[in-house]
Amino acid sequence: MSSNTPNSLDLASLIANMAEQKKSLQTTVLDTHQVSTFADYFVICTTDSAVQTKTLMDAIEGILKREYGIEAIGKERDRQGTWCLLDYGDVIVHVMHRQAHDYYQLEQFWNHAKVLPLQSWQHKKWSQAS
């Protein structure tokens, strides 16, 4: 990993903070590195509408690309706009409408993963210079 690339915890923290700034109703960071072979962290963001789901996903993707030069290696959206996924390798971002969040209950499905306490990621800074 180059010095211009955040580690996976810093990237997950950066994304979670962006989601909070963009009015995610609920943001959860799951530490999945002990229980998953494909990602170290999941960032799960909950929204109020399909428009907010798309807007939040586009904002995260745009800021990471524009400000940090980080591009998603994959992305998915459902047709109704209730669930979007951004794949940043070691960090997977789920942006979900409240009803989809309640239905899929990813935190319950991944209940063997550790939920990171808010204070461990909230307002954590990452800089390309670090």
Question: Each residue of 58-111: pLDDT tens digit?
Answer: 999 999 999 889 999 999 998 888 999 999 999 999 999 999 888 878 877 777
Question: What pTM, to 2 d.p., does this model score?
Answer: 0.87
Decide if pLDDT at 130 tops 50: no
Q: How many CB atoms lie within 10 A of CB 110?
A: 18
Nearest of 110, 82, 75, 79 to residue 96 by alpha carbon: 82
Tally of structural domains, the chain: 1
The domain in which residue 13 lies consists of: 8-117
Decide if pLDDT at 3 tops 60: no
Q: Specify the higher pLDDT residue, 130 or 21.
A: 21
Cβ contacts of residue 66 below 8 Å, gap of 6+? Answer: none
CATH of the domain at 55: 3.30.460.10
The pLDDT of residue 125: 66
Residue 89 lies in a domain: yes
